[in-house]
């Protein structure tokens, strides 16, 4: 007991330091968990088959809602690149639309929800129509779908697909397992500049 009394000041400092370390550890765990929950996670997948008739789905697996601003398709056709904005579903007639919101891929996407942006074949044809009219769907070797979203800042995701086979046997599969997330200040600024350029904003 006398030893404790003689060293009470030093023990108090040690205990205070230990408590500080514990609280800092708890704070780091809480901050890491908070940032992880706010992290964006957009997936771009194909469904209903592997052929070009497969649908392209965009899913929001983050814990916060996002707003899809724009959907783009990048194609590699015989070694050359062509690009088109496919946000609006121009191939759907008024008779096919049950709701005016179905005419566009733009809009909010809640956490845990997904949305079909159309069949890959239709998206590819729209991409081809924006370039050389002589290009054919059979000449497409690579398809990349970038999705531009807003969540406080302009963010997004992209996923590349490769087209293999010929004729009716042509199939499409992802080059990567998951979509690449476009985040960070520099990437966000570039995404915003590209979006403004496509929209004619200066």
Number of domains in the chain: 2
Same domain, 111 and 27: no
Q: Can you read off the two tokens belonging to residue 140?
A: 């497409």
Same domain, 45 and 28: no
Same domain, 50 and 32: no
Confidence (pLDDT) at 51: 80
Same domain, 20 and 103: no
For 113-169, the pLDDT digits (tens) are 988 888 888 888 888 877 666 778 888 889 999 999 888 788 889 999 998 877 777
Same domain, 23 and 114: no
Q: Can you read off the two tokens belonging to residue 137?
A: 């769907």
Q: 189 vs 38, 40, 193, 200, CA distance in Å?
A: 20, 16, 6, 16
Confidence (pLDDT) at 94: 46
Confidence tier at 93 by pLDDT (50, 70, 90): very low
Confidence (pLDDT) at 97: 46
Return the number of other C-beta atoms located less than 10 Å from residue 102's C-beta. Answer: 12
Is 149 within 8 Å of 66 (Cβ atoms)?
yes
Same domain, 147 and 50: yes
Is 58 within 8 Å of 102 (Cβ atoms)?
no
- Give the count of alpha carbons within 13 A of 26, CB side only: 6
Query: Across the chain, where does the E strand assignment appear?
Result: 42-47, 55-60, 66-77, 80-85, 107-109, 114-119, 140-151, 153-164, 171-174, 180-182
3-state secondary structure of 59: strand
Same domain, 102 and 149: yes
Single out the residue of 50, 75, 70 nearest to residue 58, CA to CA: 70
Cα–Cα distance, 33 to 28 (Å, whole number): 8
pTM exceeds 0.85, yes or no: no
Same domain, 60 and 18: no
Same domain, 110 and 137: yes
Confidence tier at 11 by pLDDT (50, 70, 90): low
* Residue with the larger pLDDT of the pair 15 and 100: 15
Q: 7 vs 10, 16, 20, 65, CA distance in Å?
A: 5, 14, 20, 56
Same domain, 49 and 16: no
For 165-189, the pLDDT digits (tens) are 777 778 888 888 889 998 888 888 8
Same domain, 18 and 49: no
Domain that residue 10 falls in:
2-36
Same domain, 13 and 102: no
Q: Can you read off the two tokens belonging to residue 174?
A: 């992802």
């Amino acid at each position: 007991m006398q030893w404790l009394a003689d060293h009470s000041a030093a023990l108090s400092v040690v205990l205070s330091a230990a408590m500080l370390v514990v609280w800092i550890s708890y704070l780091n765990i809480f901050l890491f968990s908070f940032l992880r929950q706010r992290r964006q996670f957009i997936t771009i997948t194909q469904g209903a088959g592997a052929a070009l008739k497969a649908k392209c789905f965009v899913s929001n697996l983050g814990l916060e809602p996002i707003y899809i601003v724009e959907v783009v398709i990048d194609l590699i056709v015989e070694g050359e690149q062509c690009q088109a904005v496919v946000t609006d579903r121009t191939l759907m007639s008024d008779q096919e639309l049950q709701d005016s919101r179905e005419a566009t891929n733009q809009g909010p996407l809640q956490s845990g929800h997904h949305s079909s942006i159309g069949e890959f074949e239709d998206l590819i044809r729209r991409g081809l129509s924006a370039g050389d009219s002589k290009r054919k769907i059979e000449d497409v070797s690579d398809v990349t779908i970038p999705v531009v979203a807003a969540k406080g800042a302009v963010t997004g995701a992209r996923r590349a697909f490769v087209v293999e086979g010929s004729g009716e046997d042509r199939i499409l599969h992802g080059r990567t397992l998951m979509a690449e997330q476009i985040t960070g200040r520099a990437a966000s600024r570039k995404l915003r500049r590209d979006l403004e350029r496509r929209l004619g904003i200066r």
